[in-house]
Structure 1
Amino acid sequence: MRAPRLLLVLPLVFAASCSDLSGLADDASSGAPAGSGTQVSDEFSDTAPFTVTVDPADLTAAIEALEVAAERDGGYDRSLFPHWKDDDGNGCDARDDVLVKQDRTGALSEADCDAAMTGEWVSMYDGETVTASGDIDIDHFVPLKEAWGSGAVDWTTEDRQVYANWQENNWHLIAVTASSNRSKSDQDPAEWMPEDEAVWCAYVWAWVEVKTEWRLSVDEAEKTALLDYTASAC
């Protein structure tokens, strides 16, 4: 098992109203900074495709560090985030890549892409175990519309495609039941939380991590909810 690692190096560095793809991190950081108690890895937990041990003080500080701004939803269209692309050129689109990567049987491979898959996926949002890929949605942990209103409105289409297909960790794109994903839709934690309260702390951590990695803002209600869930669930 790999040694747990703390938050990934920021994958994008934004300047003014556009991003610089040369700022994509080549390597994840290894080990936690001095004084940090939060550890995370891509190893599966019982209910999620990642494992995180959260230090509430660390998470609170990360929430407080996020920019607070009103969402700018005008002009959003899902097509502005070209998604389910084969950006790594392995013959599988991003959806199929995630299905293979987050399958708990370990029996799936790139050869299984472009067809219905049989495996085992545990949906973090409702705790359900699913064996048929057709019953799985791949969720953008921070939904595309939420990302748009929180800063991606200023990105290029190319950068939005990077966001929509990002697979360098197991909490950016996540395999969950179709019903739970559609219940969540594009809502933030002020409006929706998973049915399984046992994952609330990990859910808040992952939400804040994505917002931090991609330099996305939070609105006032969202920040309040994140702080409240951290205090009560972590």
Structure 2
Amino acid sequence: MTGPAPVVLLADDDQAITGQLAPLLERSGFTVLVAADGEAALGIAQDSHPDLIVLDVLMPRLDGREVLRRLRRAGVASPVLLLTQVGGSTERAMALEEGADDYLNKPFDPYELIARLRAVLRRSRRGLPALGAAGQLRAGQLRLDRVARRAWLGERELRLTPKAALLLDYLVTHPDELLSRERLLEVVWGWDAMSGTRAVDNRIAELRRALACDPGAPQWIETIPGQGYRFLPAVVVVP
């Protein structure tokens, strides 16, 4: 990383986790602030406006989702990554709908956390707001209403299966990021899903049909052979 070290607020009541993660994050080029409960995290975030915030969902005094809700109501737009112990679709939907930019299931690979943080940081440093906090997004002729869970291409509303709609939401909120099939499978179907990565490919094909996207000359979703997919257009927040 170049320039001043980005500041990360790491909030988790498990001292074993913060004791291991904080030094690793510092060695990876971050300045780390640590909070052991939700109220402390809320205060530090409101006072310091860190570049990135990592919140454990299950914390004393205030849980991570409540901290996230209060931060967004207070206008703190710092990107937020939630750490959750629940892999179900309801938990994931709540995390993303409440303004989280990403999440990881516990237990997780610390280096996956660092990769997630760097991806979010790259977007914010290009001047993009925290897309996870936005209610409506636009990418070219595509408009996504994340509250109503509806999408339009120009004047035509897209008719998508629920899984394809969730997949589109994650792609649009993570533009220009290489997303592996395994990551997309975890996000949309859940870490314990019996579905294979072929399910991801099928829903990508559904999105391409809806968007009239030619895989040979993609303008929406690019296939990275052997690695995954990337959403290509620039994304802006609709006021």
Bigger relative CO (Cα 8 Å, ≥ 6 apart): 1
As a proportion of its length, which structure holds more strand? 2
- TM (norm. structure 2) is 0.31
Q: TM-score, normalised by structure 1?
A: 0.31
